Protein backbone atom coordinates (compact mmCIF):
# COMPACT_ATOMS: atom_id res chain seq x y z
CA UNK A 1 0.00 0.00 0.00
CA UNK A 2 1.54 3.31 -1.10
CA UNK A 3 1.29 6.56 0.84
CA UNK A 4 -1.40 7.79 -1.57
CA UNK A 5 -3.61 4.81 -0.77
CA UNK A 6 -3.27 5.14 3.01
CA UNK A 7 -6.09 7.02 4.72
CA UNK A 8 -5.61 7.19 8.48
CA UNK A 9 -8.09 8.33 11.11
CA UNK A 10 -6.39 8.89 14.46
CA UNK A 11 -8.72 8.91 17.46
CA UNK A 12 -6.06 9.74 20.08
CA UNK A 13 -3.58 12.65 20.18
CA UNK A 14 -0.56 10.45 20.90
CA UNK A 15 -1.22 8.36 17.79
CA UNK A 16 -1.49 11.50 15.68
CA UNK A 17 1.93 12.58 16.94
CA UNK A 18 3.38 9.12 16.27
CA UNK A 19 2.04 9.14 12.71
CA UNK A 20 3.44 12.63 12.11
CA UNK A 21 6.84 11.66 13.52
CA UNK A 22 6.90 8.74 11.10
CA UNK A 23 6.44 11.22 8.24
CA UNK A 24 2.85 10.27 7.45
CA UNK A 25 1.04 13.53 8.30
CA UNK A 26 -0.41 13.77 4.77
CA UNK A 27 -2.03 10.35 5.21
CA UNK A 28 -4.13 11.56 8.16
CA UNK A 29 -7.67 12.22 6.89
CA UNK A 30 -9.47 12.38 10.24
CA UNK A 31 -8.68 13.07 13.89
CA UNK A 32 -10.19 13.22 17.36
CA UNK A 33 -11.42 16.51 18.83
CA UNK A 34 -8.38 16.43 21.15
CA UNK A 35 -5.73 16.04 18.43
CA UNK A 36 -3.97 19.41 18.23
CA UNK A 37 -0.36 18.59 17.38
CA UNK A 38 1.46 18.99 15.06
CA UNK A 39 -0.20 22.28 13.98
CA UNK A 40 -0.67 21.20 10.37
CA UNK A 41 -3.46 18.78 11.34
CA UNK A 42 -5.69 21.62 12.59
CA UNK A 43 -7.91 21.67 9.48
CA UNK A 44 -8.37 17.91 9.26
CA UNK A 45 -11.98 16.72 9.88
CA UNK A 46 -12.89 15.88 13.50
CA UNK A 47 -14.42 12.43 14.08
CA UNK A 48 -15.21 12.52 17.81
CA UNK A 49 -16.74 14.73 20.48
CA UNK A 50 -16.84 14.62 24.28
CA UNK A 51 -20.08 13.94 26.13
CA UNK A 52 -18.99 16.11 29.05
CA UNK A 53 -18.01 19.74 29.60
CA UNK A 54 -14.22 19.89 29.50
CA UNK A 55 -14.15 23.54 30.57
CA UNK A 56 -15.82 22.80 33.91
CA UNK A 57 -13.83 22.73 37.20
CA UNK A 58 -11.94 19.50 37.90
CA UNK A 59 -14.44 18.22 40.47
CA UNK A 60 -17.32 18.79 38.02
CA UNK A 61 -15.50 16.99 35.21
CA UNK A 62 -14.84 14.06 37.56
CA UNK A 63 -18.52 13.92 38.56
CA UNK A 64 -19.69 14.05 34.94
CA UNK A 65 -17.30 11.32 33.80
CA UNK A 66 -18.18 9.02 36.71
CA UNK A 67 -21.88 9.52 36.10
CA UNK A 68 -21.48 8.63 32.43
CA UNK A 69 -19.43 5.51 33.25
CA UNK A 70 -21.89 4.35 35.92
CA UNK A 71 -24.68 4.66 33.37
CA UNK A 72 -22.69 2.40 31.02
CA UNK A 73 -22.66 5.17 28.45
CA UNK A 74 -19.80 6.46 26.32
CA UNK A 75 -17.64 9.37 27.44
CA UNK A 76 -16.87 10.15 23.78
CA UNK A 77 -19.06 10.01 20.69
CA UNK A 78 -17.79 8.80 17.33
CA UNK A 79 -19.17 10.69 14.33
CA UNK A 80 -19.93 7.70 12.14
CA UNK A 81 -21.23 9.92 9.33
CA UNK A 82 -17.85 11.66 9.14
CA UNK A 83 -16.03 8.32 9.11
CA UNK A 84 -18.29 7.18 6.28
CA UNK A 85 -17.33 10.22 4.21
CA UNK A 86 -13.60 9.86 4.93
CA UNK A 87 -13.42 6.16 3.95
CA UNK A 88 -10.30 5.41 6.06
CA UNK A 89 -8.06 2.43 5.44
CA UNK A 90 -6.85 2.48 9.08
CA UNK A 91 -8.24 3.75 12.39
CA UNK A 92 -5.90 4.12 15.37
CA UNK A 93 -7.44 4.09 18.85
CA UNK A 94 -6.59 2.92 22.37
CA UNK A 95 -7.69 0.22 24.79
CA UNK A 96 -5.86 1.47 27.89
CA UNK A 97 -8.48 3.40 29.83
CA UNK A 98 -12.08 4.58 29.51
CA UNK A 99 -11.19 8.25 30.03
CA UNK A 100 -8.13 8.56 27.76
CA UNK A 101 -10.08 8.40 24.51
CA UNK A 102 -12.64 6.47 22.51
CA UNK A 103 -12.71 2.84 23.63
CA UNK A 104 -11.86 -0.03 21.28
CA UNK A 105 -15.34 -1.69 21.44
CA UNK A 106 -16.95 1.60 20.38
CA UNK A 107 -14.61 1.90 17.42
CA UNK A 108 -15.31 -1.71 16.42
CA UNK A 109 -19.05 -1.02 16.58
CA UNK A 110 -18.67 2.15 14.48
CA UNK A 111 -16.72 0.24 11.82
CA UNK A 112 -19.53 -2.30 11.46
CA UNK A 113 -21.83 0.58 10.53
CA UNK A 114 -19.63 1.73 7.64
CA UNK A 115 -20.72 0.75 4.14
CA UNK A 116 -18.01 2.28 1.93
CA UNK A 117 -14.90 1.11 3.78
CA UNK A 118 -13.60 -1.64 6.06
CA UNK A 119 -10.68 -0.01 7.87
CA UNK A 120 -8.12 -1.95 9.86
CA UNK A 121 -8.20 -1.00 13.56
CA UNK A 122 -4.92 -0.48 15.40
CA UNK A 123 -5.27 -0.28 19.19
CA UNK A 124 -2.50 1.05 21.43
CA UNK A 125 -2.14 0.02 25.10
CA UNK A 126 1.00 1.67 26.52
CA UNK A 127 1.74 1.56 30.25
CA UNK A 128 5.51 2.12 30.28
CA UNK A 129 8.04 4.10 28.26
CA UNK A 130 9.17 0.90 26.53
CA UNK A 131 5.56 0.25 25.53
CA UNK A 132 5.43 3.69 23.89
CA UNK A 133 8.62 3.05 21.92
CA UNK A 134 7.15 -0.31 20.95
CA UNK A 135 3.97 1.40 19.68
CA UNK A 136 6.03 3.72 17.48
CA UNK A 137 7.80 0.69 16.01
CA UNK A 138 4.53 -1.21 15.51
CA UNK A 139 2.76 1.71 13.81
CA UNK A 140 5.82 2.18 11.61
CA UNK A 141 5.79 -1.48 10.59
CA UNK A 142 2.07 -1.28 9.79
CA UNK A 143 2.69 1.47 7.24
CA UNK A 144 6.05 0.25 5.99
CA UNK A 145 8.07 3.03 7.65
CA UNK A 146 11.45 2.29 9.25
CA UNK A 147 11.38 3.74 12.77
CA UNK A 148 14.89 2.68 13.81
CA UNK A 149 16.52 6.12 13.53
CA UNK A 150 13.53 7.85 15.12
CA UNK A 151 13.64 5.52 18.13
CA UNK A 152 17.42 5.75 18.39
CA UNK A 153 17.12 9.54 18.60
CA UNK A 154 14.37 9.46 21.24
CA UNK A 155 16.16 6.86 23.35
CA UNK A 156 19.47 8.75 23.05
CA UNK A 157 17.87 11.92 24.43
CA UNK A 158 16.54 10.02 27.44
CA UNK A 159 19.92 8.32 28.01
CA UNK A 160 21.74 11.67 27.90
CA UNK A 161 19.50 12.96 30.70
CA UNK A 162 19.97 9.85 32.77
CA UNK A 163 23.72 9.75 32.24
CA UNK A 164 24.16 13.30 33.54
CA UNK A 165 22.55 12.47 36.89
CA UNK A 166 24.42 9.20 37.48
CA UNK A 167 26.97 10.86 39.77
CA UNK A 168 24.34 12.26 42.13
CA UNK A 169 23.85 10.76 45.57
CA UNK A 170 20.44 9.66 46.81
CA UNK A 171 20.22 12.79 48.96
CA UNK A 172 20.68 14.91 45.83
CA UNK A 173 17.70 13.24 44.15
CA UNK A 174 14.56 14.98 45.45
CA UNK A 175 11.38 13.14 46.38
CA UNK A 176 8.69 14.07 43.88
CA UNK A 177 4.89 14.06 43.99
CA UNK A 178 3.28 14.31 40.54
CA UNK A 179 -0.34 15.48 40.69
CA UNK A 180 -2.48 14.32 37.76
CA UNK A 181 -5.80 15.62 39.09
CA UNK A 182 -6.63 18.10 41.83
CA UNK A 183 -10.21 17.35 42.83
CA UNK A 184 -10.29 14.53 43.70
CA UNK A 185 -6.55 14.41 44.33
CA UNK A 186 -4.79 11.85 42.14
CA UNK A 187 -1.15 11.00 41.43
CA UNK A 188 0.30 10.44 37.96
CA UNK A 189 1.39 6.87 37.24
CA UNK A 190 1.95 4.51 34.27
CA UNK A 191 5.16 5.85 32.63
CA UNK A 192 5.45 8.96 34.86
CA UNK A 193 7.36 7.28 37.77
CA UNK A 194 9.85 6.00 35.19
CA UNK A 195 10.31 9.49 33.72
CA UNK A 196 10.89 10.95 37.20
CA UNK A 197 13.57 8.38 37.99
CA UNK A 198 15.29 8.90 34.62
CA UNK A 199 15.40 12.66 35.29
CA UNK A 200 16.98 12.28 38.74
CA UNK A 201 14.05 12.22 41.12
CA UNK A 202 12.52 9.75 43.55
CA UNK A 203 8.88 9.01 42.78
CA UNK A 204 6.35 9.09 45.59
CA UNK A 205 2.92 7.41 45.71
CA UNK A 206 3.03 5.83 42.21
CA UNK A 207 4.50 2.73 40.58
CA UNK A 208 5.73 2.25 37.03
CA UNK A 209 3.19 0.64 34.73
CA UNK A 210 0.34 0.95 37.23
CA UNK A 211 -2.81 3.09 36.82
CA UNK A 212 -3.12 6.51 38.43
CA UNK A 213 -4.41 6.36 42.00
CA UNK A 214 -6.28 8.59 44.40
CA UNK A 215 -4.13 10.32 47.00
CA UNK A 216 -5.27 11.23 50.48
CA UNK A 217 -4.58 14.90 51.31
CA UNK A 218 -3.25 13.96 54.74
CA UNK A 219 -0.82 11.50 53.11
CA UNK A 220 0.59 14.26 50.93
CA UNK A 221 1.07 16.50 53.99
CA UNK A 222 2.66 13.75 56.09
CA UNK A 223 5.01 12.55 53.32
CA UNK A 224 6.09 16.16 52.68
CA UNK A 225 7.78 15.80 49.25
CA UNK A 226 10.76 17.90 48.19
CA UNK A 227 9.11 18.75 44.88
CA UNK A 228 5.47 18.88 43.75
CA UNK A 229 4.66 18.91 40.04
CA UNK A 230 1.16 19.44 38.65
CA UNK A 231 0.41 17.73 35.33
CA UNK A 232 -3.37 17.36 34.93
CA UNK A 233 -4.80 15.58 31.92
CA UNK A 234 -6.13 17.88 29.23
CA UNK A 235 -4.96 21.13 30.85
CA UNK A 236 -2.39 23.60 29.51
CA UNK A 237 -0.13 25.80 31.65
CA UNK A 238 -2.70 28.53 32.25
CA UNK A 239 -5.46 26.11 33.23
CA UNK A 240 -3.07 24.15 35.44
CA UNK A 241 -2.06 27.32 37.30
CA UNK A 242 -5.76 27.86 38.07
CA UNK A 243 -6.41 24.27 39.16
CA UNK A 244 -3.36 24.19 41.45
CA UNK A 245 -4.89 26.98 43.53
CA UNK A 246 -7.47 24.48 44.80
CA UNK A 247 -4.69 22.96 46.89
CA UNK A 248 -2.56 26.03 47.60
CA UNK A 249 -5.48 27.77 49.31
CA UNK A 250 -5.61 25.09 52.00
CA UNK A 251 -4.03 26.23 55.30
CA UNK A 252 -1.70 23.20 55.52
CA UNK A 253 -0.20 23.94 52.12
CA UNK A 254 2.27 26.55 53.37
CA UNK A 255 3.74 24.01 55.80
CA UNK A 256 4.90 21.77 52.96
CA UNK A 257 8.64 21.71 52.32
CA UNK A 258 8.11 22.15 48.56
CA UNK A 259 5.98 25.25 49.12
CA UNK A 260 8.50 26.76 51.55
CA UNK A 261 11.42 26.25 49.16
CA UNK A 262 9.57 27.35 46.02
CA UNK A 263 9.79 23.92 44.40
CA UNK A 264 6.18 23.61 43.27
CA UNK A 265 5.73 23.56 39.50
CA UNK A 266 3.00 23.37 36.89
CA UNK A 267 3.46 21.71 33.50
CA UNK A 268 1.59 21.43 30.24
CA UNK A 269 0.42 17.91 30.99
CA UNK A 270 -1.85 17.94 27.96
CA UNK A 271 0.99 18.47 25.49
CA UNK A 272 3.63 16.36 27.18
CA UNK A 273 3.22 14.00 30.12
CA UNK A 274 -0.21 12.56 29.38
CA UNK A 275 0.48 11.78 25.72
CA UNK A 276 2.26 8.42 25.30
CA UNK A 277 4.10 9.37 22.15
CA UNK A 278 7.36 10.94 20.94
CA UNK A 279 7.11 13.94 23.26
CA UNK A 280 7.71 11.76 26.31
CA UNK A 281 11.38 12.37 25.47
CA UNK A 282 10.64 16.09 25.86
CA UNK A 283 8.86 15.26 29.13
CA UNK A 284 12.02 13.66 30.56
CA UNK A 285 13.98 16.77 29.59
CA UNK A 286 11.36 19.01 31.21
CA UNK A 287 11.58 17.02 34.45
CA UNK A 288 15.38 17.12 34.36
CA UNK A 289 15.24 20.90 33.94
CA UNK A 290 12.81 21.22 36.87
CA UNK A 291 14.61 18.85 39.24
CA UNK A 292 18.22 19.79 38.44
CA UNK A 293 18.36 23.33 36.98
CA UNK A 294 22.07 23.51 37.76
CA UNK A 295 22.71 20.63 35.33
CA UNK A 296 20.01 21.00 32.66
CA UNK A 297 18.85 24.01 30.66
CA UNK A 298 16.84 22.84 27.68
CA UNK A 299 14.70 25.97 27.35
CA UNK A 300 11.27 24.53 28.15
CA UNK A 301 10.50 27.10 30.85
CA UNK A 302 7.28 29.05 30.18
CA UNK A 303 6.31 26.72 27.34
CA UNK A 304 6.47 23.28 28.98
CA UNK A 305 6.63 24.27 32.65
CA UNK A 306 6.47 27.17 35.08
CA UNK A 307 6.98 27.77 38.78
CA UNK A 308 3.62 27.86 40.57
CA UNK A 309 2.34 31.40 40.80
CA UNK A 310 1.51 32.63 44.29
Q: Which of 48-52, 86-90, 241-245 has the highest mean pLDDT?
A: 86-90
pLDDT tops 60 at residue 2 = no
Please report the DSSP string for 187-232 in residue order. Answer: E--BTHHHHHHHTT-EE-S--BTSPPEE--HHHHHHH--SEEEE--
Average pLDDT on 169-179 reads: 94
Domain membership flag for residue 30: yes
CATH code of residue 277: 3.40.50.1980
Domain membership flag for residue 276: yes
- Per residue, what are the HEC states of 114-168? CCCCCCEEEEECCCCHHHHHHHHHHHHHHCCCCCHHHHHHHHHHHHHHHHHCCCC
Tell me the chain's radius of gyration from C-alpha atoms: 20
Domain membership flag for residue 153: no
Is there a contact between 102 and 124 (Cβ–Cβ < 8 Å)?
no
The more confidently predicted of residues 53 and 23 is: 23
Is there a contact between 8 and 90 (Cβ–Cβ < 8 Å)?
yes
Total domains present in the chain: 2
120 and 220, same domain (yes or no): no
Which H or E run includes 17?
helix 13-21
Please report the DSSP string for 43-55 in residue order. Answer: TSPB-EEESS-TT
Instruction: Please state which of the ranges 84-98, 121-135, 211-225, 295-309 shows the lowest mean pLDDT.
Output: 84-98
Domain membership flag for residue 194: yes
pLDDT tops 60 at residue 64 = no
| Confidence at 259, pLDDT banded by 50, 70, 90 | very high
77 and 21, same domain (yes or no): yes
Domain membership flag for residue 240: yes
Domain that holds residue 39: 3-125
Domain membership flag for residue 260: yes
97 and 173, same domain (yes or no): no
Give residue 148's pLDDT: 97
The candidate with the shortest Cα–Cα distance to 270, out of 9, 61, 14, 11, is 14
The Cα 162–Cα 121 span in angstroms is 36
177 and 290, same domain (yes or no): yes
Domain membership flag for residue 149: no
121 and 174, same domain (yes or no): no
Average pLDDT on 254-268 reads: 95
pLDDT tops 70 at residue 3 = no
Q: Which residues, other chains included, contact 6 with Cβ-Cβ below 8 Å and sequence gap of 6+? A: 24, 27, 89, 90, 143
Tell me if residue 25 falls in helix, strand or coil.
helix
pTM of the model: 0.91
Number of CB atoms found within 10 A of residue 211's CB? 12
Average pLDDT on 115-143 reads: 93
Give residue 207's pLDDT: 83
Domain membership flag for residue 141: no
175 and 117, same domain (yes or no): no
pLDDT digits over 69-109, tens only? 555 446 678 999 999 999 999 999 988 665 666 778 888 88
Amino acid sequence: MTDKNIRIVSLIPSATEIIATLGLSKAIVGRSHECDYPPEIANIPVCTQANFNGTAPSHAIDEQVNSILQSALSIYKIKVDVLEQLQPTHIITQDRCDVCGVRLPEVEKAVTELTHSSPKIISLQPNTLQDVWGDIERVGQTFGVDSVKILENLEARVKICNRKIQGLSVTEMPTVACIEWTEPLMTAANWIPELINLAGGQTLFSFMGQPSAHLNWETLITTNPDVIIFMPRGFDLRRTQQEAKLLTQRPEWQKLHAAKTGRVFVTDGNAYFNRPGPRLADSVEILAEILHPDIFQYGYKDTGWQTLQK
